[in-house]
Amino acid sequence: MDTLQVMQARLCVRAFLDKPVGDELIREILAAARWAPSGTNTQPWQVAVLRGDTKASLTQRLLARREQHIDPNPDYAYYPDTWVDPYRRRRIACGKALYTALGIARDDKDRQKIAWENNYRFFGAPVGLIFLIDKQLNQGSWMDLGMFIQNVMLAAKALGLDTCPQASLAEYPDEVRELLGLSSEVAVVCGMALGYADMSQAVNQFRQAREPVETFTRWYD
């Protein structure tokens, strides 16, 4: 696949095969991703690669918090407090498309809860990535990190793997920091499931829509 094909082929995968991903392959993805641009080449990205027991422990910790009804306490606000259109409308359409693919009814809160908690299991992926950034850095560096994260997803796709970026894994950053032995000066930005897609699962057989170019582009002469 060429670059444009990889960009179009990347999508969120939420069911993975029980097939290991070797450390060398993970390293190759990260080595490619590090060529992302960053303001004054500050390269602000930090990544934790979770496999095996550590990944399982994080899953247990996050599920336990959820079970205890402890409110999420993320290091930053990903979303606005108040939703306005067109974002509100798109967000609703996104959830509807996902739950339709999963065969979950709009009022079936129990199954929606189970589906959400699957986030904490990295959707069954053998590798979980956690993206981190120094709290001293500012919005620009967060933008740089976003470019790095996109590079990870594209590199993975180009190498035959799939991903799902996950803000849900940043809901309880203290658990992440404690488990991984990180300082409180490190912000937990998001996680990512990484592995081989299970394409037999319906949840991987739909695509989220995109607006046409005209919707978000202003042309000037």
Ligand X SMILES: Cc1cc2nc3c(=O)[nH]c(=O)nc-3n(C[C@H](O)[C@H](O)[C@H](O)COP(=O)(O)O)c2cc1C
Q: CB 43 → ligand X: shortest distance, Å?
A: 19
- In order, the DSSP letters of 114-148 are HHHHGGGGGGG-SEEEEEEEETTS-HHHHHHHHHH
CA distance readout (Å), 114 to 72, 108, 120, 126, 183: 17, 10, 10, 19, 31
Q: Which of residues 112-141 bind ligand X (CB under 6 A)?
A: 119
Cβ closest to ligand X, residue 23 vs residue 210: 210
Cα 54 from Cα 130, distance rounded (Å): 12
Choose the binding region for ligand X from 15-23, 50-58, 132-140, 163-171 (rule: CB under 6 A). 163-171
Query: What order do you get walking across the sheet with 186-195 strand by strand?
Result: 46-50, 127-134, 186-195, 162-166
Q: CB 22 → ligand X: shortest distance, Å?
A: 25
For position 11 contacting ligand X by CB under 6 A, the verdict is yes
- Among residues 12, 21, 161, 187, the one that binds ligand X under rule CB under 6 A: 12
Cβ closest to ligand X, residue 35 vs residue 116: 116
Choose the binding region for ligand X from 28-36, 55-63, 132-140, 158-166 (rule: CB under 6 A). 158-166
CB neighbourhood size of 100 (10 A) = 13
Cβ closest to ligand X, residue 64 vs residue 94: 94
Binding mask 173-202 for ligand X (x = CB under 6 A): -----------------x------------
Q: How many residues bind ligand X (CB under 6 A)?
A: 12
For position 208 contacting ligand X by CB under 6 A, the verdict is yes
**Amino acid of residue 211:** E
Cβ closest to ligand X, residue 12 vs residue 194: 12
In the chain, helix, strand, coil percent, each to 5? 50, 15, 35
Q: CB 219 → ligand X: shortest distance, Å?
A: 25
> 64 is written with which tokens?
């336990």
- Among residues 1, 64, 93, 94, the one that binds ligand X under rule CB under 6 A: 94
**Phi, then psi, of 25 in degrees rounded to 5:** -70, -40
Q: Are 59 and 121 in contact (CB under 8 A)?
A: yes
List interacting residues with ligand X (CB under 6 A).
Answer: 11-12, 14, 94, 119, 164-168, 190, 208
